A = this chain, B = another copy of it.
Amino acid sequence: MKATVFHGPRNVRVESVPDAAISLPTDALVRITAAAICGSDLHVYHARTQAVPGFVLGHEGVGIVEEVGRGVSTLKRGQRVVVAGSVACGNCFYCRQGQVSQCEASGGAVFGYGPNFAGKLGDIGGAQSEALCVPMADYTCYPLPDAIDDEAAVFLADMLPTGFFGALNGDIRPGNTVAVFGCGPVGLCAVMAAGLFGTAEVIAVDTIPYRLELARKLGATPVNAPDAMELILGRTGGRGADVVIEAVGHESALHAAMAAVRPGGTVSAVGVFSEPSFNFPIGLAFIRDLTFRVGLANLRSNIPQLARLVESGRLDPRPIISHRLALDNAPHGYRIFDARTDNALKVLLKP
């Protein structure tokens, strides 16, 4: 089958690989009908992870169940599903609390991120391919209603749950003002998710005009990063935002977020950080009573309610799609998304 394979820094190729196949009784084989490139794939693309050449990329995929292991009890051949970006058993200590990113059975394995992120599962394939073997398929696959098309469904694999996780972690209350730093696909999903908690205003911060324009269309007040602090203070009587969602993944953005949040507020980080540590302003945080939350988003546990919101039309992530490419053109998709050229945001790949 064809798949998008990592070969080194800024070097991915679509090439022929051995067909994906079931190996455990709890696996399912899913024929991919739509996949997408995620901002966190760029960490791999830049070889900033300890990635090893040769593995298949991608953890955002939608498709049709083609085969199920004999231990799979709820899925059927022919069923249309979204595959959660990380594998979860649904039954362990963490999964029962909804903290599926910490699943003890899978070790929190992420598809297509290389052996280092494959948790206890050894290597697992990626979704930017023609087919994917899904471990712990009864829970990791989520059946889709017809009302959600592939293009909306692909956001349920990672983007929407991650944006929602950022908003949920912020403990947003009705009437709050929320600032979202970073208007890539995750930041834009956080803009949408924040609105589910009764925000009075969502302020979207970035430096790239087409991203800010899209934030505006999604209901946010856009602001160019250098002007963000002044705008945020101006809109909040000088107090700062009740909640700041950091969707950039840099120390400078974290510091800006902590300066922009009001006393007693929360900074919720969903950006992926490549550095192991940063300089936390604890004197400021102590005087101002801050909460800081950061984590790998819980994907599968948040899909049902998000699917219901997409189904009813209350959430529509499709405006975030900038490109729809054939799987063969994945390398081009990586290039433009990485370079932020061609107004690239969410790049879909269709096998």
Contact = CB atoms under 8 A, between A and B. Distances in A.
Nearest first, the 3 A-B pairs at minimum CB distance are A175-B305, A289-B295, A196-B198
A161 to B, nearest CB: 12
Contacts of A176: 305
Contact of A288 (B102, B177, B197): B102
Contacts of A298: 289
A286 interface: yes
B285 A295 contact: yes
Contacts of A139: 91
A90 B296 CA distance: 24
A175 B283 contact: no
A309 B278 CA distance: 36
Copy number in the complex reads: 4
B280 A279 contact: yes
Interface in A65-95: 71, 73-74, 90-91, 93-94
Given A196-B197, A277-B280, A290-B295, 18 more contacts: A91-B138, A99-B289, A173-B305, A175-B309, A176-B305, A177-B308, A198-B314, A254-B282, A264-B295, A277-B279, A277-B282, A277-B283, A280-B280, A286-B294, A286-B295, A289-B294, A289-B298, A290-B293
15 contacts: A91-B138, A96-B301, A99-B263, A102-B264, A174-B196, A175-B304, A195-B198, A197-B197, A197-B198, A264-B295, A276-B284, A277-B279, A277-B282, A278-B282, A286-B295
A273 interface: yes
Interface of A: 71, 73-74, 90-91, 93-94, 96-97, 99, 101-102, 138-139, 164, 169, 173-177, 195-201, 239, 254, 263-264, 269, 272-273, 275-296, 298, 301, 304-306, 308-309, 311-312, 314
Nearest to A198: B196
Given A263-B102, A309-B175, A281 B292 contact: no
Contact of A264 (B94, B197, B201, B291): B94
A89 B234 CA distance: 24
Nearest to A102: B263
Nearest to A104: B239
A98 to B, nearest CB: 8
A294 B258 CA distance: 13
A311 B71 contact: no
A304 B176 CA distance: 11
Contacts of A94: 263-264
A282 B290 contact: no
A281 B273 CA distance: 11
Given A276-B281, A279-B279, A289-B295, A309 B198 contact: yes
Contacts of A293: 290-292
Given A277-B282, A278-B280, A282-B277, A309 B174 contact: yes
A170 to B, nearest CB: 11
Contacts of A278: 279-280, 282
Contact of A286 (B138, B263, B272, B312): B272
A283 B292 contact: no
A176 B305 CA distance: 8
Nearest to A283: B276
